[in-house]
């Protein structure tokens, strides 16, 4: 059994981790950590877990991790880097759901993350855990930086086409919509029901922390440095990410070639569902680890790609468990709903 601790178990991603891990055949959940909820039973914080787990949330102390094999860290931005180096020193495997260890360009990193200087040197220890694209590196990693929710949906759709050099890189337009759970459980005025309901708004245009992440890993995985815009929007739903990407493809490219590229890259990947010309819908991926991808090219070589995920599952806890399975040499689908065939 893999003995697990979760730091940030009382948050939204913590809840999803628990629901998946309680159903995992090779996992034993040992310790749960929080901040304002210390001393409270986890089944009182996440009432959906009533009758499923009898653990109380504790205050984190790295000296209590002696029997732990893997720690999931689901803390707000800037908090993980305070605890992860101490856990790493003990030789324990770690999966960080936050952004603290995703960027290796220090200029970009310091723009977006309030850091402790000692944590900067530490960045090189992390492997970026985009499961479908870094399986080999994940297998041998001690520390995984789990990808952000928007970058997961963007990269899974764009990488195969950029890797095959069929997209014009002069301009790619990326528009994403997220449910409100993407912002976590802390209350802010802009996230209350009456502000969000029956409305849609863009935010952090040109300044979102996921722009450098997308840039870094398009280069890393596809050796591509396209000029792109990324505009996130807040949608009045609880969960899900809907990403629409517009670009032009090179003049010799047609839909058949794109079909072949996606099939080659993803036909054996259990969480990617290729929909070709169908239009994906959020309701078909929420509560799952699937990423549904569709594509369309018109006679003027305009490409539209659509990619949908659940921000809390494929965009956070589900991908984290997929990465845990890969790190421990297990079937990567354990604990998660999966595709057993790719025809429907
Ligand atoms: N929500 C999402 O869709 C996604 C989130 N992520 C990332 O995952 C991480 C967790 O996100 P999410 O679950 O939404 O966050 P939440 O805000 O829902 O939960 C945060 C958790 O961290 C604990 N916590 C808060 N502040 C501190 C602190 N100063 N020290 C120690 N513990 C603290 C909270 O404990 P308590 O409740 O006891 O106060 C709670 O357990 C973030 O880095 C986020 O960016 C990544 C992808 C998607
Ligand atoms: C709706 C909403 O506010 N979403 C968050 C997503 C944050 C997240 O999940 O990403 P990190 O782990 O990279 O911080 C945002 O746009 O900042």
Q: Are 13 and 43 in contact (CB under 8 A)?
A: no
Which CATH number do you get for residue 134? 3.40.50.720
Task: Assess whether 161 and 299 both reside in one domain.
Answer: yes
Give DSSP secondary structure letters for 164-189. TT-B-SS-EEEEEEE-GGGG-S---G
- Nearest ligand, measured from the Cα of 11: 1
What are the residue ranges in the chain where pLDDT is below 50?
none
Quote the CA–CA distance of 309 and 298 in Å, as a whole number: 25
Nearest CA to ligand 2 atom 1: 182
Ligand closest to CA 38: 1
3-class DSSP assignment, residue 28? strand
On whether residue 294 sits in a domain, the answer given is: yes
Structural domain includes residue 339: no
* Residue 273 is assigned to a structural domain of this protein: yes
Which ligand has its closest atom nearest to the C-alpha of 319? 1
Asked if residue 129 has its Cβ within 6 Å of ligand 2, the reply is no
Contact 64, 31 (CB under 8 A): yes
Q: Show Cβ contacts of residue 208 under 8 Å, excluding neighbours closer than 6 positions.
A: 150, 230, 232
**Range of the structural domain that residue 233 is part of:** 150-311
- The answer to whether the CB of 178 is under 6 A from ligand 2 is yes
| Predicted pLDDT at 120 | 73
Does residue 337 form part of some domain?
no
Separation of 76 CA from ligand 2 center, angstroms? 10
Same domain, yes or no: 128 and 155: no
Residues with catalytic annotation?
149
- 34 in the same domain as 175: no
Q: Which atom of ligand 1 is nearest to the CA of 311?
A: 3
325 C-alpha vs ligand 2 centroid, how far in Å?
24
Question: Do 305 and 160 fall within a single domain?
Answer: yes
Same domain, 85 and 156: no
User: Nearest CA to 4 among 85, 60, 69, 91?
Assistant: 69
200 and 117 fall within a common domain: no
Asked if residue 167 and residue 85 are part of one domain, the reply reads no
Q: Which atom of ligand 1 is nearest to the CA of 45?
A: 37
Global confidence as pTM: 0.97
149 lines ligand 2 (CB under 6 A): yes
Whether residue 188 sits in one domain with residue 156: yes
Ligand 1, atom 3: nearest CA belongs to which residue? 182
> Do 234 and 130 sit in the same domain of this protein?
no
- Domain presence at residue 335: no
282 and 320 in a single domain? The answer is no
Q: Are 18 and 74 in contact (CB under 8 A)?
A: no
What are residue 243's phi and psi, to 5 degrees?
-115, 130
Are residue 211 and residue 169 in the same domain, yes or no?
A: yes
Task: For residues 11 and 33, give the distance between their C-alpha atoms in angstroms, rounded to a whole number.
Answer: 10
- By DSSP bridging, strand 241-248 and strand 172-178 are antiparallel
Q: What is the DSSP letter of 47?
A: G
Residue 80 Cβ inside 6 Å of ligand 2? The answer reads no
Closest CA to 179 of 22, 316, 35, 322: 316
Residue 338 lies in a domain: no
156-158-162-167 Cα dihedral, nearest 10 degrees: 160
Using alpha carbons, select from 150, 146, 180, 155 the residue that is nearest to residue 74: 146
- Nearest-angstrom CA–CA distance, 299 and 320: 40
Angstrom distances, CA of residue 299 to CA of 38, 76, 159, 247, 262: 59, 46, 23, 13, 20
Could you tell me which of 140, 138, 136, 17 has the C-alpha nearest to residue 72? 17
CATH of the domain at 195: 3.30.360.10
Q: Is the ipTM of this complex over 0.95?
A: yes
- Are 167 and 257 a contacting pair, CB within 8 Å? no
| 269 within a domain of the structure (yes/no) | yes
Q: Within this chain, do residues 238 and 307 fall inside the same structural domain, yes or no?
A: yes
Is 287 within a domain?
A: yes
Q: How many structural domains are present in the chain? A: 2
For ligand 2, say whether the CB of 234 is within 6 Å of any of its atoms: yes
| Separation between Cα atoms, residue 96 and residue 129, nearest integer Å | 10
């Amino acid at each position: 059994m893999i003995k697990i601790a979760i730091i940030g178990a009382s948050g939204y991603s913590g809840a999803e981790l628990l629901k998946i891990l309680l159903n995992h055949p090779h996992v034993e959940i040992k310790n749960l950590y929080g901040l304002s909820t210390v001393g409270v039973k986890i089944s009182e914080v996440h009432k959906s877990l009533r009758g499923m787990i009898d653990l109380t949330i504790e205050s984190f102390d790295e000296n209590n991790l002696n029997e732990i094999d893997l720690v999931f860290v689901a803390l707000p931005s800037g908090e993980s880097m305070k605890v992860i180096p101490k856990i790493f020193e003990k030789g324990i495997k770690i999966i960080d759901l936050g952004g603290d260890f995703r960027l290796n360009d220090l200029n970009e990193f310091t723009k977006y993350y309030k850091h402790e200087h000692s944590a900067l040197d530490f960045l090189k220890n992390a492997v970026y855990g985009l499961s479908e694209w870094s399986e080999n590196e994940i297998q041998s990693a001690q520390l995984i930086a789990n990808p952000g929710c928007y970058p997961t949906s963007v990269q899974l759709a764009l990488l195969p086409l950029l890797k095959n050099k069929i997209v014009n890189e002069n301009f790619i337009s990326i528009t994403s919509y997220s449910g409100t759970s993407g912002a976590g459980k802390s209350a802010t005025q802009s996230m209350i029901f009456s502000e969000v309901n029956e409305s849609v708004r863009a935010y952090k245009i040109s300044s979102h922390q996921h722009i450098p992440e997308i840039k870094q890993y398009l280069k890393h995985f596809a050796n591509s440095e396209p000029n792109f815009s990324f505009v996130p929007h807040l949608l009045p739903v609880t969960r899900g990410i809907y990403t629409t990407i517009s670009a032009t493809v090179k003049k010799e490219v047609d839909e058949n070639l794109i079909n072949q590229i996606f099939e080659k890259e993803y036909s054996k990947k259990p969480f990617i569902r290729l929909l070709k010309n169908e239009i994906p819908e959020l309701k078909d991926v929420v509560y799952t680890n699937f990423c549904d991808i569709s594509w369309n090219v018109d006679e003027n070589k305009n490409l539209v790609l659509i990619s949908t995920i659940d921000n809390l599952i494929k965009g956070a806890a589900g991908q984290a468990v997929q990465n845990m399975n890969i790190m421990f040499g297990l079937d990567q689908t354990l604990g998660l709903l999966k595709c057993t065939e790719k025809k429907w």
